[in-house]
Amino acid sequence: MKQIFIKCLSLTVVASFLGSCVNLPDIRKAPISLYYLEVLPCPTDKVKTLRERLNWQLTIDEPGADTRFDSDYVVVNSEESKVNYIKEVRWVARLPLLVQEVFTTLFEQSNVVKGVGDPSEGLDADFILLTDIKSFQLEVREKPTIVIQVYGRLMQASDRELIAAKLFSIRIPIESETPGDVMGGFVKGVNQITGELIDWVYASGKDIRDQNS
């Protein structure tokens, strides 16, 4: 009888504890919003500008990036010794992969070269575009601004000889720090800087062709 009493007492204590848990506050994490880098339509002036297509193929490698930008976090006010991220907002994949997709898609649409792709596609490339993401962040010091810096290197595929190199920088002021304005600024910035990359690759390739003709 004593053992039965102890068991019943234990069950009563457990039941009382479980009942008290019902009133605990909801500590579930806020949902995370995922964003990708949309490819915007080519500007009208670019469409009207007729460029003779270069007769070579281009491979676009995944951009290099340090640990600040090689993730799915959205960086804000990054410094050498400290990195801040926007809460509850993430890229849908690692940032370098998203940037590579924008580069490849816009190069395809521009039709400035005979063929373009990433290394996994087995393209018999004549040239390789290597890039490094130096900055891809929101700055909120005086006015919220999207800051993107990409260092590009155009190399010959056969012997990895460097043909040209250039740092591309862009600053896009935005209206507010809301996720919609911030991510819209990133989309505008990456599309604009890709357009500059395309113009640069085309001009470099045209110089090579003219020198060899």
Q: Quick check: 208 and 172 in contact, CB under 8 A? A: no
Of these ranges, 34-48, 120-134, 184-198, the one predicted with the greatest mean pLDDT is: 184-198
Ordered DSSP codes for the chain: -HHHHHHHHHHHHHHHHHHHHTTS---PPPPPEEE--PPPPPPHHHHHS--PPEEEEEEEPPPEE-TTTSSSEEEES--SS--EEEEEEEESS-HHHHHHHHHHHHHHHHT-EEEEE-GGG----SEEEEEEEEEEEEE-SSS-EEEEEEEEEEEETTT--EEEEEEEEEEEE-S-SSHHHHHHHHHHHHHHHHHHHHHHHHHHHHHHHHHH-
Contacts of 16 (CB under 8 A, 6+ apart): none
Pick from 74, 194, 212, 108: which is nearest to 156 by CA? 212
Q: What residue segments make up the domains of the chain, in order of their start?
A: 35-212
pLDDT in tens, 30-51: 688 999 999 998 765 555 455 7
Topology of the domain comprising 35-212: Rossmann fold (3.40.50)
Tokens of 69: 């930008």
pLDDT in tens, 22-35: 444 455 566 889 99
pTM exceeding the 0.85 threshold for the entire prediction: no
Contacts of 177 (CB under 8 A, 6+ apart): 138, 140, 144
Axis crossing angle, helix 179-212 with helix 95-110, rounded to the nearest 10: 50
Which residue is it, tokens 């910035």? 189
C-alpha span between 55 and 139 (Å, rounded): 41
pLDDT in tens, 89-107: 999 999 999 999 999 999 9
Phi/psi of residue 100, each to 5°?
-60, -40
Tokens of 136: 């891809």
Confidence label for 20 from pLDDT (cuts 50, 70 and 90)? very low
